[in-house]
Amino acid sequence: MDPAATRSIAQCRVEWTQEGVLKIFVSSDMEGTAGVVDWSQCTPSEPEFAYYRGLLQEEVNAAIEGAAAGGATEFLVNDSHSKMANLRPDALAGRARYLSGRHKPLYMMQGLDASFDGVFFVSYHGSMSGTPATLSHTYNPQAISEVRLGGVVAGESGINALVALGHGVPVVLITGDDTTAAEIEPFCPGIRSAVVKSSVSRFAADSLHPMEARELIHEAARDAVRALPQAAPPHITLPATLTVRFRNPDLAEMATWIAGVVRMDAVTVGLTDEDPIRLYRKFVTVVMLTRGIAE
Ligand SMILES: [Zn+2]
């Protein structure tokens, strides 16, 4: 999409918005929370999960409260980690609506529509193939080794930005480690980030104290909402192409059973679409299908 066109959409959105209502969509993952460095800490069946779930909840709340301080009035939190039911609804700040549970057609972006003014990615993590990032993966670590969007390595943040583009809504905040913040920049230039930890390896990070992390998220969220009038939807040229490299050729072969998915080499497939939401849905279908044989 022509950047000038997207900017004018962003400006129009401010005028269209119902007087006094400012809506923020929060997609929350878990691996990007300060202090989280291991799968056992973010796997619901593990004993440590209960504690780390609490840290996530406070970071989500810091984002909501920061946004409210910046002028946001309504919030929808789409839980996007594991079984997607990690938060406690009555402990959510801002009287946020809570979209939780599995089999959501638009997965990490379910619930977003053009009535929202901005998107937050909270507790996100780095891509499988990028610079070492705590608990890095791209949707499915058992199946996918790398995804590129328009030739640029994309994590879940870049891929999910396709849905925001489809609705013409800017992505204005990301929280997580340093790698995660850097990876979204090509797709959402100028995005505010709250870097709550610095990754040492896939399973080690130097984290801020949780209180510091929450303060940083609060500030970044407030500033992101205040700057919404200048924000533009994601900068992704359409038609867009996702290139998906798998861990083995069986997975690439299986992905080509989906209409429009083209084999590029033994382990790589390509998907192209001029409609960013349709492209995202096709990618989610690839993820779901290959999950069945990933090992
Ligand atoms: Zn996750």
CATH of the domain at 71: 3.40.50.10780
Gap from CA of 44 to ligand 1 centroid (Å): 11
Q: How confident is the model at residue 2 (pLDDT cuts 50, 70, 90)?
A: very low
Catalytic center residues? 137
Residue 42 CA to ligand 1 centre (angstroms):
8
Ion ligand 1 — residues with CB < 5 Å: 29-30, 81
Q: Looking at 120-275, list the stretches that DSSP marks H as alpha helix, in order from N- to C-terminal side.
A: 156-167, 178-184, 210-226, 249-255
Please indicate, yes or no, if residue 116 is contained in any of the structural domains: yes
Considering the domain boundaries, does residue 14 fall inside one? Answer: yes
pLDDT surpasses 50 at 15: no
CA of 294 to the centre of ligand 1 (A): 17
Residue 275 located in a structural domain? no
Residue 293, domain member (yes or no): no
SS3 79: strand
Q: Residue type for 74, please?
A: E
Domain span holding position 25: 3-236
Q: What is the mean pLDDT of residues 235-247?
A: 97
Ligand 1 centre distance from Cα of residue 38 (Å) = 11
Residue 217 maps to a domain = yes
Q: What's the distance, Cα to Cα, between the start and end of the chain in Å?
A: 38
For the stretch 162-190, pLDDT in tens is: 999 999 999 999 999 999 999 999 999 99
User: Does the residue 44 lie in any domain?
Assistant: yes
295 is annotated as contributing to ligand binding: no
| 31 marked ligand binding residue | yes
Q: How far apart are CA 159 and CA 9, in angstroms?
A: 21
Q: Structurally, how many domains does the chain consist of? A: 1
pLDDT, tens digit (0-9, with 9 covering 90-100), for 42-58: 999 999 999 999 999 99
Q: Is residue 241 part of a domain?
A: no
In a domain, 222, yes or no: yes
